[in-house]
Amino acid sequence: MTGVEPSGTSSATAAGNSGAYGWAASNPKEPLCRHERTVFYRPQVDLQRVGTAYSSMSEQYIGLVGDGSQEHEADIDLVRRHLAGLAGPVLDLGCGPGQWTSYLHSLGADVVGVDMVPEFIAHARATHAGLDIRQGSMTELDFPDHFVAGILSWYSTIHLTPSALDGVLTEFRRLLPPSGVLVVGFFDSDDTVAEFDHKVVAAYRWPADVFSARLASAGFAEVERLRRQVPERPGRRYAAIAARAT
Ligand SMILES: C[S@@+](CC[C@H](N)C(=O)[O-])C[C@H]1O[C@@H](n2cnc3c(N)ncnc32)[C@H](O)[C@@H]1O
């Protein structure tokens, strides 16, 4: 896989692009081809800004979620039921500190975690020896089409503008064969898609039906949905969808 940094090399060199976050910065209108069947998708969103924000708050973020103990039982159950036991590799895209990558690995999955933030990569590699953790952007994965059996995108699309989401979901679909599994976690909303002040950098809430429709447009069929709230944060609503590539 190019476009992501294999363990122990420099991301800018391995990715063949500029920018610390795996963001190819030349002409944003020009598709970037590195594989004969691959045309990388470039979202019109400032990944550099998102990456810088997570870098500067990486210590707090790792302290908050890094050991996985904050994850909700229902979410863990959903991820396990849909992504364990697949016959092929699983990607944890936007893996952050690697707690889900580690969980999937513990279930026997052939899992690769990818994130663009160097501090998360360093933490994940130091904490979870033996995990395959790579630095790069989930928008520039140079896997061949249909290469992986499953993808976890746990809150990693939350900073994408609504206009950028479709291209990223299409890229997820390209990586999966028909019946391949995607599990995506995101912030839920009852009414409209809305930007809000996330602690790290602006994020979006999505009505689950609208997110599901975007998945359908990208070539996925929803198979299970989870919506929940926690008493400590009454203003926050959480959703996850498990879907199969059609
Ligand atoms: C809200 S955090 C979630 C992290 C992790 N999945 C978790 O559950 O703790 C969003 C993550 O997505 C990553 N991310 C956002 N856009 C990305 C991209 N294009 N490529 C790789 N990682 C990305 C960020 O660096 C950050 O680690």
Residue 167: phi and psi, rounded to 5, are -65, -35
User: Residue 213 Cα, ligand 1 centroid: separation in angstroms?
Assistant: 22
Does the pLDDT value for residue 28 go beyond 50? Answer: no
Integer Cα distance of 88 and 142 in angstroms: 17
**Does ligand 1 come within 6 angstroms of the Cβ of 116?**
yes
Q: Which amino acid is at 101?
A: T
Contact 204, 163 (CB under 8 A): no
- Residue 37 per-residue DSSP state: T
CB count in 10 Å sphere of residue 114: 26
User: Which pLDDT score, from 0 to 100, does residue 235 have?
Assistant: 85
Domain hosting residue 61, numbered range: 52-245
> For residue 202, is it within any domain?
yes
In this prediction the pTM is 0.86
Integer Cα distance of 199 and 54 in angstroms: 10
Nearest residue to 4 via CA among 38, 50, 27: 38
> For residue 6, is it within any domain?
no
For residue 229, give both structure tokens: 């709230």
> For residue 224, is it within any domain?
yes
Question: Which is more confidently placed, 42 or 106?
Answer: 106
> Predicted confidence band at 57 (pLDDT cuts at 50, 70, 90)?
very high
Question: Which is more confidently placed, 67 or 21?
Answer: 67
Ligand 1 atom closest to residue 138's alpha carbon, by position in its atom list: 20
SS3 171: helix
Q: 88: phi > 0 → left, psi -120 to 50 → alpha, else beta; which?
A: left
**Does ligand 1 come within 6 angstroms of the Cβ of 45?**
no
Residue 31 burial (10 A CB sphere; 0-12, 13-18, 19+): exposed
CB count in 10 Å sphere of residue 18: 13
**Mutation test of ligand 1: which of 48, 156, 161 has the most ligand atoms closer than 8 Å to its C-beta?**
156
- Region 11-29 average pLDDT: 33
> Predicted confidence band at 206 (pLDDT cuts at 50, 70, 90)?
very high
User: Which pLDDT score, from 0 to 100, does residue 2 have?
Assistant: 40
- Looking at the structure of the chain, the number of domains it has is 1
- Region 52-58 average pLDDT: 96
> For residue 42, is it within any domain?
no
Does the pLDDT value for residue 24 go beyond 80? Answer: no
> For residue 157, is it within any domain?
yes
Number of H helices and E strands in the chain, helices first, is: 8, 12
pLDDT per position as a tens digit, 212-243: 999 999 999 999 999 999 888 888 999 999 99
**Does ligand 1 come within 6 angstroms of the Cβ of 187?**
no
Distances (CA, A) of 230 to 72, 184, 197: 9, 19, 19
What residue spans of 107-186 are helical by DSSP H? 118-127, 162-175
User: Residue 92 Cα, ligand 1 centroid: separation in angstroms?
Assistant: 9
> For residue 13, is it within any domain?
no
User: Which pLDDT score, from 0 to 100, does residue 26 have?
Assistant: 29
User: Which pLDDT score, from 0 to 100, does residue 14 have?
Assistant: 29
> For residue 107, is it within any domain?
yes
> For residue 32, is it within any domain?
no
SS3 179: coil
CATH of the domain at 171: 3.40.50.150
**Mutation test of ligand 1: which of 41, 92, 100, 115 has the most ligand atoms closer than 8 Å to its C-beta?**
115
- Residue 152 per-residue DSSP state: E
pLDDT per position as a tens digit, 79-131: 999 999 999 999 999 999 999 999 999 999 999 999 999 999 999 999 998 99
